[in-house]
A and B are shown apart, each in its own frame.
Chain A
Amino acid sequence: SQKIEQNSEALNIQEGKTATLTCNYTNYSPAYLQWYRQDPGRGPVFLLLIRENEKEKRKERLKVTFDTTLKQSLFHITASQPADSATYLCALGNAGNMLTFGGGTRLMVKP
């Protein structure tokens, strides 16, 4: 069965450092991958999309890589800030637009 793994343990980093979150998947061939941010008590908010034929995408301080051979996506936040503290979800999608979400990784950026 399809499986998406994100580190369930919280990631604690110091302000100004780069945060790197991992999303691994098995038994899946996604057409694209999305990253969402979720704050406590709120719904997920879309951040970035990367397609299967793309290696890397950037948006301001965010960078996503997608390695379909390793079946892995890495999500980077450079120059992290306490306001970046949240849970980050990866979601895999296919042509039918149905998303399968990972369990999320909680990021804590300490001042």
Chain B
Amino acid sequence: GAGVSQSPRYKVTKRGQDVALRCDPISGHVSLYWYRQALGQGPEFLTYFNYEAQQDKSGLPNDRFSAERPEGSISTLTIQRTEQRDSAMYRCASSLGSGRAGAETQYFGPGTRLLVL
């Protein structure tokens, strides 16, 4: 059984360019989460989806960041007009249930390392 996959694994871009990061969750998982993790820090919540519906985007830093999950499976996190401060590891996670009962185990992907020059 495949785990959560993310692509690309590494992305180097120039300041001002747009980037799209992809997450492929575990098949059948209802919820999908995006996090950003700085070196030596824990993951920082960005946004999450139940099926195709974005449930919470309170962690998105500003309006340059957006995410979608149009068919309730694969998700894309897009950063427009990238800035050097956007450089970080971006991690995706998925969970089997919707979390209404609380306490879903989240399965993390390997992450996309983004470097903005």
Query: A residues touching B (Cβ–Cβ < 8 Å)?
Result: 4, 6, 8, 31-32, 34, 42-46, 49, 51, 89, 91, 93-104
- B102 proximal to A (CB < 8 A): yes
Stretch at the interface among B13-21, B37-45, B65-73, B80-88: B37-45
**B interface residues with partner A (beta carbon < 8 Å):** 4, 31, 33, 35, 40-45, 48, 55-56, 91, 93, 95, 98-100, 102-111
CA distance in complex: A51, B42 (Å) = 21
Query: Separation in Å of the B40 CB from the closest CB of chain A?
Result: 7
Contact between A43 and B102, CB atoms less than 8 A apart: no
Among A31, A44, A49, max chain B CB count under 10 A is at A44
Closest residue of chain A to B43 (Cβ to Cβ) is A101
A43/B111 in contact, CB under 8 A: yes
Alpha-carbon gap, A91 to B95, bound state (A): 15
